[in-house]
């Protein structure tokens, strides 16, 4: 049987590698949606860090799949990021104030970074309006059915190191406490 000491060291090293594996560092590491127009509305460019928005005709299924694929490629992991669904009202907190939304999803690698994908879909995929009286977005003479806003939350080196240290010390403490109780 392998001593617990070796299992702890192996676990700590694997966790350390996972947490410090290189990945995206800013929103510009993610590509624009295919066949889309970049938004230059206030708040969608440089006013708020790590925010980017695109007008397109790509709906939720494609937009979330597209960014999930690119997030996984940017981190070089064999597992895709976790996909969390949030209520659209949360977009005021996660993206920026006064962000209209019909869906908000988060792609996350636990203990690392997170990418929020906010979508405003005025029309259904069959081009019927979702709300009474809506008109498509008009950008540079083109009409678009959706707007996708991204916000990337990178974690700093020191935050990751502090979390890794806390987890390792906690496991060691709990193991020693458990041994004292059993003996």
- Nearest residue to 145 via CA among 56, 53, 44: 56
Task: Give the per-residue pLDDT at 117.
Answer: 97
Domain-wise residue ranges, the chain: 25-153
Task: Give the per-residue pLDDT at 3.
Answer: 82
pLDDT tens digits in sequence order for the chain, 183 residues long: 468 889 899 999 999 999 999 889 999 999 999 999 999 888 887 788 899 999 999 999 999 999 999 999 999 888 999 999 999 999 999 998 888 899 999 999 999 999 999 999 999 888 888 888 888 898 888 999 999 999 999 999 999 999 999 999 999 999 889 888 887
Task: Give the per-residue pLDDT at 46.
Answer: 77
**Integer angstrom CA distances of residue 144 from 52, 96, 126, 138:** 17, 22, 14, 6
Residues, the chain: 183
- HSE-CB at 82 with a 13 A cutoff on CA atoms is 10
Report the C-alpha gap between 31 and 2 in whole angstroms.
Answer: 46
Task: Give the per-residue pLDDT at 104.
Answer: 96
**Residue whose token pair is 């490629």:** 73
Task: Give the per-residue pLDDT at 2.
Answer: 65
Report the C-alpha gap between 123 and 131 in whole angstroms.
Answer: 8
Task: Give the per-residue pLDDT at 48.
Answer: 86
Is pTM beyond 0.85 here?
A: yes
Cα Rg of the chain (Å, integer):
21
Phi, psi for 141 (deg, rounded to 5):
80, 0
């Amino acid at each position: 049987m392998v001593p617990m000491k070796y299992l702890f060291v192996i676990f700590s090293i694997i966790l350390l590698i996972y947490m410090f594996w290189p990945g995206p560092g800013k929103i510009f590491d993610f590509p624009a949606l295919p066949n889309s127009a970049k938004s230059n509305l206030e708040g969608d460019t440089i006013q708020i860090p790590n925010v980017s928005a695109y007008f397109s005709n790509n709906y939720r299924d494609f937009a979330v799949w597209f960014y999930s694929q690119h997030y996984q490629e940017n981190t070089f992991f064999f597992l895709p990021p976790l996909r969390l669904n949030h209520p659209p009202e949360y977009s005021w907190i996660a993206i920026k104030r006064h962000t209209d939304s019909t869906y908000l999803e988060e792609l996350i690698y636990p203990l690392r970074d997170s990418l929020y994908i906010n979508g405003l879909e005025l029309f259904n995929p069959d081009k019927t309006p979702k709300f009474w009286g809506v008109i498509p977005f008009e950008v540079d003479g083109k009409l678009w059915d959706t707007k996708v806003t991204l916000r990337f939350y990178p974690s700093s080196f020191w935050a990751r190191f502090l979390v890794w240290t806390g987890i390792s010390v906690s496991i060691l403490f709990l193991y020693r406490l458990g041994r004292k109780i059993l003996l």
